[in-house]
Amino acid sequence: EGVVPQEYTLIKLKIVQLPEKMKDLSAYKVYLVPGTLRPETMYGQTNCWVLPDGKYGAFRINENEVFICTERAAHNMAFQGLSEKHGETNCLLRLTGHDLLGLELEAPLSKYGRVYTLPMLTILPNKGTGIVTSVPSDSPDDYICLEELKRKPAFRAKFDLKDEMVLPFVATPIINIPDLGDLSAQAACEKHKVKSPNDRTPLDLAKDECYLNGFTKGVMLVGEHQGKSVKDAKPLIRDHLIAAGLAVTYSE
Ligand code: A2H
């Protein structure tokens, strides 16, 4: 972990219908809370990623809301005003990534409205909330992981995923980047010859290229801030999500 704190926006993805295992949480609105550095890309969400063998918990945030994330993230949140008692977490239920796979979620700003939780084996358990929202148009990691799930029926079957949770969801243009176009993640993966999520070196090159150029040269193609630079739109979209109760900030 770096010396400079990283400021994430946690997006509140509400579970549409609680599974049997979570029935005791029915008095609450229950959210998966992926951490992102790119709130302006939420228009392009196609799914949410969890680590199947990852350990998560359902943490009570207030009388109405429960956040699902790693224990480590919940602990940090409790020191950032995101709990009822400063510095104290209230874990109502322990979960694994497997318990979260295939859940239908409300994804704020996404053109799909509702998306599903899918497996990403390269999630780092000690970063952010251990949950990642997927934007395959602008994130090379998300793009290559979604491609792999689409390409491999056995991979979907292994995690009991139905085709309709994966196949209908496609990367859609939300940001234009000069030289990389409207689907920068795909362009960068092709340029650096990324073939699978395990091609870490070319994947990191693709990621750096998209991230840097997206921030400095990207222009919004959709939404209320269409035509604005990513740099200008980012704080406006983040603040809108927070004001609407659809996101919170978190740093580590
Ligand atoms: B970003 P940094 Cl469109 N494990 O959000 C792996 N990756 C994680 C993670 C974890 N535990 N927690 C967060 N992340 C991802 C959007 C996005 C992101 C786009 C483009 C680039 C990008 C949609 N996914 O990140 O190491 C999250 O994905 C590239 C840097 O703290 C988060 O932002 O710098 C980013 O990595 C945080 O990475």
pTM for the whole structure? 0.97
What does 17-76 look like in DSSP terms, one character per residue? S--GGGGGGTTSEEEE--EES-GGGGGG--EEEE-TT-EEEEEE-SSSEEEEE-HHHHHH
pLDDT confidence bin for 147, thresholds 50/70/90: very high
Q: How many CA atoms lie within 13 A of 127 on its CB side?
A: 11
**Domain locations in the chain?**
7-251
Ligand 1 binding residues, C-beta < 6 A:
6, 35-38, 41, 123-124, 127-128, 130, 132-135, 138-139, 142, 207, 211
pLDDT at 3: 77
pLDDT tens digits for range 187-207: 999 999 999 999 999 999 999
The alpha carbon of 59 and the centre of ligand 1 are apart by a number of angstroms equal to 22
Residue type, 1: E
pLDDT at 245: 98
pLDDT tens digits for range 82-99: 999 999 999 999 999 999
- Per the CB < 8 A criterion, the answer to whether 45 and 113 are in contact is no
The CATH-assigned architecture of domain 7-251 is Alpha-Beta Complex (3.90)
pLDDT tens digits for range 44-90: 999 999 999 999 999 999 999 999 999 999 999 999 999 999 999 99
- Per the CB < 8 A criterion, the answer to whether 42 and 107 are in contact is yes
Atom of ligand 1 nearest to the CA of 127: 11
The alpha carbon of 37 and the centre of ligand 1 are apart by a number of angstroms equal to 6
pLDDT confidence bin for 2, thresholds 50/70/90: low
pLDDT at 192: 98
